[in-house]
Every structure is written in structure tokens, then in C-alpha cells.
Amino acid sequence: MPPRVLFLNHSATIGGAEFCLLDIAVHLRDSALVVLLEDGPFRPRLEAAGVQVHVVKAGALHKVRRDSTLPGISVVASLWRAGRIVADIARDFDVIHANSQKALMVGSVAGMRSRTPLVWHLHDIIDPPWFSRVNIMADVMLANHCANRVLAVSQATAKAVIRHGADPSRVHVVYNGIDVSVFTRDAERAAAARQQLGLSHVPVVGCFSRLAEWKGQHILIEAAAGIPDLHVLLVGGPLFNEQAYEQRLHELVAARGMEDRVHFVGQRSDVSLLLQAVDLVVHPSTAPEPFARTLIEAMLVGKAPIASASGGVPELIESGHSGYLFPPGDAEALKTILTRLLASPDEVERAGVTARDHATRNFTMPAFVNGVTEQLQQAASSGRKHRPRPMASAVSQ
């Protein structure tokens, strides 16, 4: 019997960590509930996939950011309140799955109060300067004292949390898997998509990511500025209040005189086709990327991605075979690779075949969902601990 899982996610905006949660929640939907700590687009997306959702608003908790220092009283109060509500719900479940950091905080309170085992799914490389010392300390303390186990999305993600003091015996790496039935090859429709964009007769490089400074779209624009005639397709929008960065990208494009060859197409639902419609795919994050699902998606449709070599990325790509790595933030190095590959279509084709094979073998959906389910099962079977009576009555008030 699969475990009854209470999934907890702070955000209702759909980013990579939410896509990952969607996959596992769909797999376990007959015995699962997703609690979101705010309402938003993720709720209908889960519901449409047959997953039960409940929203517990955690107001002030959303003020906590990666670089926050000490939390204010309103944050602690809303954390405690949400934790109590989730604890009541958790009594009907075998295990709590906390997706990312704010969910870990609420999940820790809920897990302790309801004596439900807690699994933390970690999608971040928690390192300074991207995360404050206070945040890192809180995460590690909760991981060691409240979580039964920590699922890290890559070795790099696992190493960072262990380096900051997490108990290594609790940390397990489970790579994301991508659904091959969504990322299938369709040359005809991809050509039509390219034609619709008006890019049939020019070389095109694509970047598939939300617009955020650390995703590094500016590095790609700088690299492409030095390659005459190359068009850039930016797929993705500013998701988490990142409109200022989008504005800066437009200014950079104008400053380089590239208005006619950089195309901002926003968030799209036909990513699989657009990946196939471009000649090359670049993922230029300037900060260490924990996993980068987009790289596997590109590989599955036969594109060997060009990505910055940091975080979990080198674990996903065998450089020179299934993709290409360049130093993060180095527009000049990226320009060199782009120039070479644009002149070598045979190599691009060959690497694409290798990439597809590599992704199909190593990042499958069954391996992912079974891996996570097994971890949840093991945490669940560690059992609900005996819970003293007086606390039970306090919670139900």
C-alpha cells in the first residue's frame, strides 16, 4: 500500500520545484493531499491532474526571503498558526513531504505537533551569498531535528547542506525525472512553430527559463551580441516579482542594437516544440543551479544543451558528449562555443542523439517517482511516535 502523503508547498506559483511536486503528487494522488500556503495558479493545475488540494494561508511567512536575517514576530506567529492547522490535517496521513524551505518550517511545527514523520525535499543549494547564515542555520537545525530524511535533487545540493552541518545519514539524492511522453520529437510541428515565430531562415539559440537575474539571460544576450545574425529566443516570464530584471534585459537589448533579433515570447505551454524549433539551447545560470529540469527536457527532444558549469549541472551533462559546459557568467566563453557549434551542424546532430539517449536512460519518470515513494515509505514506516495526551487537546482548540 502506498503511504498516505501530506504534501506541503509554500508557493502557488509554478516553478521547477512545483513541477517536481506535481509529478510525485500525481503518482500518489489516490492517497495524497497537497496543502499550499497561498492560493494561485498551482492549485488549479494540481486539481486538473486529479490531485486534492487544500489552501492554508500563511500570510507573513511569505515575507521570508533567501537572504532574510532574523524573522519578525509576525513571521513567527504565522508560521506557528499554519503549523497548527497543518498538524490537525496531518493526523490522517503517514508522512509529511515538505517541498523547499518555507514548507520545511511549517512542516517541522506540524510534524512535531502531530508526531508525523517529515521528509524535506530540498531544491536549493543553500550556500552564502545566496542564502543568509540565519536561513542556512535554521534549515540545518530543522533537517537534523525535525526531518526524518532529506531528499536532495543533486549531489551538489546534498553536499552543500551537509557542508553546513546536516547529518549525512539523513540525506539522499533523488534526481528529477521528466515525462518522455510530453517531450517527444515532432519535426514537422517544430518546423511549423519556427515558421510561426518568423525564424525559419535564421540561426536561433533558445533559453528556456523564467526571467531572473541568476538564470543569466543577460549573459546569453552579451554572447549573442558578438555573433552577427544570430537570433535569441527567450522563453519564460518574470515569475517571482522579477519584472525589474526583464526591464533591464530590454535595456541591454536596446543598448546592443539587438531589438530585431532577441525575441521575448513569455511563458509558453508548447515548450517541447519550441525546444525542437531552435538550433541550440543555452542555460546560462550565474549562480549554482540545483538541478535544471530544462536541460533534461532539451536532451529528451534531441538537443545537447550548452550550460554553465556549476551546481548540479555537471551531474546532468557529460561535457562534449551530451552537452557543453562553460564557466558561469563568462559571455566570451559562451560566444566561442556558440560560434563553433553554429558552424558544425553534424556535431550538433550527433551530440543531440547522445543527449537523448543519456536523458532517456538516466532521468526517467519511473525512477524518480519510485525513488521518492520509497523514501516516503521508509520515513512513514519509522512510524508516528507516541504523543502525550495534553498536547492533543491543546492542538484541537
Q: Which residues bind ligand GLC (CB under 6 A)?
A: 15-17, 20, 123, 153, 176, 289-293
Q: Whose Cβ is closer to ligand GLC: residue 293's or residue 303's?
A: 293
Name which of 6 and 17 has its Cβ closer to ligand GLC. Answer: 17
**E-strand spans in the chain?**
5-9, 32-36, 52-55, 95-99, 118-122, 149-152, 171-173, 204-208, 231-235, 262-266, 280-283, 306-308, 324-326
We find the least distance from the C-beta atom of residue 50 to ligand GLC, in angstroms, to be: 22
Residue of 377, 390, 391 lying closest to 24 (CA atoms): 377
Angle between helices 243-255 and 217-225 (to 10 degrees): 10
Instruction: Dig out the grid coordinates for 327 from the structure.
Output: 564557466
- Nearest approach in angstroms of CB 189 to ligand GLC is 26
CA nearest 301: which of 354, 246, 356, 247? 356
Terminal alpha carbon distance of the chain:
33
**In the complex with ligand GLC, which residue's Cβ is closer, 132 or 209?**
209
Q: How far is the CB of 122 from ligand GLC (least distance, A)?
A: 9
- Reference 2, options 394, 327, 369, 387; nearest CA is 369
In the complex, what is the shortest distance from the CB of residue 125 to ligand GLC, in angstroms, rounded to a whole number?
8
Phi (first) and psi of residue 149, to 5 degrees: -155, 160
Which helix (H) or strand (E) element contains residue 154?
none
CB of 203 to ligand GLC, least distance (A): 27
Whichever of 116 and 135 has its CB closer to ligand GLC, that residue is 135
> Which residue(s) pair with 307 in the sheet?
283, 325
Cα–Cα distance between 69 and 89 in angstroms, integer? 30
Q: Which residues does residue 5 pair with via DSSP β-bridges, in sequence order?
A: 32, 95
Look at strands 52-55 and 204-208 and give their pairing: unpaired
The least CB distance from residue 72 to ligand GLC, in Å, is 26
CB of 320 to ligand GLC, least distance (A): 22
CB of 137 to ligand GLC, least distance (A): 21
Nearer to ligand GLC, 94 or 289 (CB): 289
User: Based on CB atoms, which residue is closest to ligand GLC, 85 or 161?
Assistant: 161
Give the type of residue at 91.
R
Closest residue to bound ligand GLC by CB? 16
Q: Looking at beta carbons only, is 164 or 263 nearer to ligand GLC?
A: 164
Nearest to 229 by CA among 250, 199, 209: 199
Task: Evaluate whether 284 touches 167 at the Cβ level (below 8 Å).
Answer: no
**With respect to ligand GLC, which residue has the nearer C-beta, 151 or 162?**
151
